[in-house]
Amino acid sequence: MAANPDSLRISDVPSRARTVAFARGDGIGPEITDAVLTVMEAAGARLDLQEVPLGRGVYESGTRSGVDPAAWDILRGSRAFLKAPVSTPQGGGFKSVNVTIRKSLGLFANVRPCRSYHPFVASRHPSMDVVIVRENEEDTYAGIEHRATAEVVQCLKLVSRPGCERVIRYAFNYARDRGRRKVSCLTKDNIMKLTDGLFHEVFDEVAAGYPDLLAEHHIVDAGAARLTTRPEKFDVIVTPNLYGDILSDVAAEISGSIGLAASANVGDEFAMFEAVHGSAPDIAGRDLANPSGLLLAGVMMLGHVGLAEEASRVHNAWLRVLERGLHTADIFQHGVSSRRVGTREFARAIVAELGSAPRRLQAVQYGPTRTGVRRPAHSRPPRRPRKDLVGIDVFLDWDEDGRDPVALAGRLASAGSPALELRMITNRGVKVWPAGLPETFRTDHWRCRFLRRDPGRPLRHAELQSLLAAISGAGLDYVKTEHLHEFDGVPGYSSGQGE
Ligand code: NAI
Ligand code: MG
């Protein structure tokens, strides 16, 4: 395997790394946690386990985030967190524990392996083995939304270069450390040329540093179609937050084993591991629950804290039990399963197989590396580009004159400005002036683009302010502005559709 400067050898991992927080969660959480801890202990995983109060009891004590204030110190002192599912109370301003932890601790990558276990678990795609790495903090999930006018609301999509870089670098390191061959990037950069364009651009830059891995890009809609029909064409996928949210559920579902799926939320040092399923209150406390999702989360966690050998041992024993047909009720199939077992018996069967390998399913072998980012968390481009202010987009709430763009342009022209000239008006991104089409539907929300008259010198803020004062003075209601810059002479703004 090629040397990987971004990976850490096991011997480099300080002993603190083995401090692991866990939470038993709600519903089936406690029983599957017991099963998982039993298996990990039997596998010889030496962990310093710290229990964290989380979920129902914490919500009931009035903490709306669901995370006890005392939990933060335990989490900060740990390298990883194994979290059983938590029931989120409906309404009442309660926040999901996951969102709270993910955002508070900077867990920038969500990793979800989606594998089929055909023929032991029914799947339409017998050879599927895809890992989705989803950017976890940016994109439209910053939750910055505004109502601009009576008719129009908006959501701000924020994408940063360091945000792209660390999740993409994580995906390449993950692929390399696990002997995978290809990383596919999915974006919609044919439409969102700046935001998704940046993600794609950084992907190409990072890929150049991994010549041992294949790298490819798909437009997300075509890529998603291909993923659902021919998932075996994919290996590791890296994608922005929203697409990743959707695709990771789709991929887990079509693998046929969503009930067995696990995910990791990974930060620079700390990571949180959990099953994809919820707390299943309908079967709680009855020894019916399948502990596999949390167990596979535990396997990822062992790898993260440098216990690769123990991770392989647990995973292979689990695969062997699946093959032997000892199945919990949720995956039991006549003709395939040999016996229906409860949560506890399933765990005992795995313990009994520790040291065995699967015979038909592919065995796993985790390497002695830990996929860390090992880069400054906020690495900057080598040089900050020259930035020139060249104009402004002024958004108006305007519902007069039959919403005739020519009339609006006339009002804006009379507002006048010595430094700036009106170049274009769009409505929902489509150019309506000059030379718009009468068929274009028009809302009460107008984007009016002004650019500098003298391309020889950058604008000053005062010139924008006098333009806005003139617009106000003409009786027009501006509800938002965006400054237009060139970076090293390249426009940092999109053109209007139809421009
Ligand atoms: P769920 O995943 O808990 O249950 C859906 C169905 O799958 C149920 O019929 C359940 O019995 C079954 N099921 C789930 N896990 C199973 C397992 N390990 N073994 C056997 N059967 C299993 O989803 P649901 O009902 O929508 O949510 C229940 C609660 O879980 C809610 O309060 C929800 O907020 C919470 N939840 C928590 C998550 C987390 O902590 N990460 C994720 C999803 C839901
Ligand atoms: Mg989701």
Residues in Cβ contact with 10 at an 8 Å cutoff, skipping those fewer than 6 apart? 306, 308, 368, 369, 370
Which one, of 385, 395, 462, lies nearest residue 428 by Cα?
395
The ligand placed nearest to the CA atom of residue 136 is 2
pLDDT of residue 377: 45
| CA gap 459, 461 in Å, rounded | 7
- Per the residue annotation, which of 26, 83, 139, 141 is the catalytic one? 141
Say how many Å lie between the CA of residue 156 and the centre of ligand 1: 31
pLDDT of residue 91: 72
Ligand 1 close to Cβ of residue 471 (< 6 A): no
| CA gap 307, 368 in Å, rounded | 8
Let me know: does 396 contact 343? Beta carbons within 8 Å.
no
- In the chain, domain spans: 2-371, 387-491
Tokens of 395: 């958004």
pLDDT of residue 10: 42
pLDDT of residue 355: 97
Residue 245 designated active-site: yes
The ligand placed nearest to the CA atom of residue 330 is 1
pLDDT of residue 409: 96
Q: What is the pLDDT of residues 356-377, one digit of tens each?
A: 999 999 999 987 665 555 554 4
| CA gap 186, 154 in Å, rounded | 24
Say how many Å lie between the CA of residue 275 and the centre of ligand 1: 10
| CA gap 165, 236 in Å, rounded | 16
Choosing among 3.40.718.10, 3.30.70.520, 3.30.1950.10, 3.40.50.300, the CATH entry for 2-371 is 3.40.718.10
- For a mutational test of ligand 1's pocket, the pick from 65, 88, 277, 327, i.e. the residue with the most ligand atoms closer than 8 A to its C-beta, is 277
Name the stretches of the chain with pLDDT < 50. Answer: 1-13, 16-17, 376-377
Q: Are strands 490-491 and 477-487 parallel, antiparallel or unpaired?
A: antiparallel
- Per the residue annotation, which of 26, 245, 397, 444 is the catalytic one? 245
Residue 249 designated active-site: yes
The CATH classification number of 387-491 equals: 3.30.70.1570
pTM score, whole prediction: 0.90
